[in-house]
Amino acid sequence: MATGKFRLTPALGIPSEVSEEVYDVIIVGGGPAGLTAGLYAARYSLKTIIVTKLLGGLVTEAPLIDDYPGLPEISGNDLVDEFVKHVKKYNVPIIIDEVTNMTREDNKWCVELRNTGKRICGYTVIFAIGSEKRKLGVPGEEKLVGRGVSYCATCDGPLFKDKIVAVVGGGNSALTSALYLATLATKVYLIHRRDQFRAFPVYVEKARQNPKVEILLNTVIKEVIGKEKVEAIRIQNTKTGEEKILKIDGLFVEIGLVPPKEFFEKIGIETDEYGYAKVAPDQSTNLPGIYVAGDAAGGPCKYRFEQIITAAAEGAKAADAAFKYILQKIKKE
């Protein structure tokens, strides 16, 4: 599609390398939002390509998903497999690479890839790049990453079979990670800085009923202790100020996400006060033909409810908006 005109054609299979042709839609990110955007764009017969660092995104780290309709108690990896299978039905190319920059050329947007050094150009771009895991920021944490400190229970949980671990956090990710780790470890401390969890009550109740899980509310971690590996953590009760040492073999951090603020600012997308991309109800941004869907989206029009189903819905909306944007451009040309 090098003529400069829009042509609504299906994508052609998964290429071994990125071609020089122009796409209708470039989707950056391969989690639920990105994969759903790819599915909808392909169904609209838009020439579509997906570029992602990690196929499935953070969903692959979820040990248990029980809130996606029709697929009860499915693992994150299995759910991603179903998403990918559906997208591949429409022969959407999927490139495993990282987008480092985006520039405007004539009436197209071009994204630059880190690993291949190549560029892909398209008339619209949907960013569904999610967010990164938030760090505790306490002494000893960075030193012991990969030596007992982990941000992914499904990735590293099997390494702690018959050991003692702690999970810090109060949302669904923390609770499901604690429940998963309880199937492997001899004991799981569940640490939360507040007096109530933000997670779904069903997960909270399961954790309370699990004999392997000990819940420590109003508690924060002050230090991760260990020379070559995690040996203990120093915790503090936020109400009494009392501190004590808790001997553990592993620490799993599940305290939320950090948006890709610097990347958005680099490419010119406006962000809100928290660093998320400002989006309109149709997921559009301040840049024409550029959309953001999923956890990285924000602004006054965003209803914050970080769930797989809402990310997928935003991906669908972004694809629909991109389709309508392209149709409007066709009418003008």
Cβ atoms of residues 53 and 15 within 8 Å = no
Q: What is the pLDDT of residue 304?
A: 85
Distance of CA 99 to the CA centre of its chain: 15
When pLDDT is cut at 50, 70 and 90, the band that residue 234 belongs to is very high
Task: Report the SS3 class of residue 317.
Answer: helix
Does pLDDT of 129 surpass 90? yes
Q: Residue 155 — very low, low, confident or very high, per pLDDT cuts 50/70/90?
A: confident
Q: For residues 43 and 27, what is the distance between their CA atoms, to the nearest angstrom?
A: 14
pLDDT at 331: 55
Residue 295 has pLDDT above 60, yes or no: yes
**What is the rounded CA–CA span in Å between residue 223 and residue 210?**
27
pLDDT band at residue 66, thresholds of 50, 70 and 90?
confident
Please give the mean pLDDT across all residues of the chain. Answer: 91
Which residue type, as a one-letter code, is found at position 87? V
Asked if residues 277 and 301 have their Cβ atoms less than 8 Å apart, the reply is no
Instruction: Give the Å distances, CA to CA, from 12 to 50, 91, 113, 121.
Output: 12, 6, 20, 16
Domains of the chain and any CATH numbers? 22-132+257-332 (3.50.50.60), 149-253 (3.50.50.60)
By annotation, the residues acting in catalysis are 152, 155-156
* pLDDT computed for residue 321 by the predictor: 98
pLDDT > 90: percent of the chain: 80
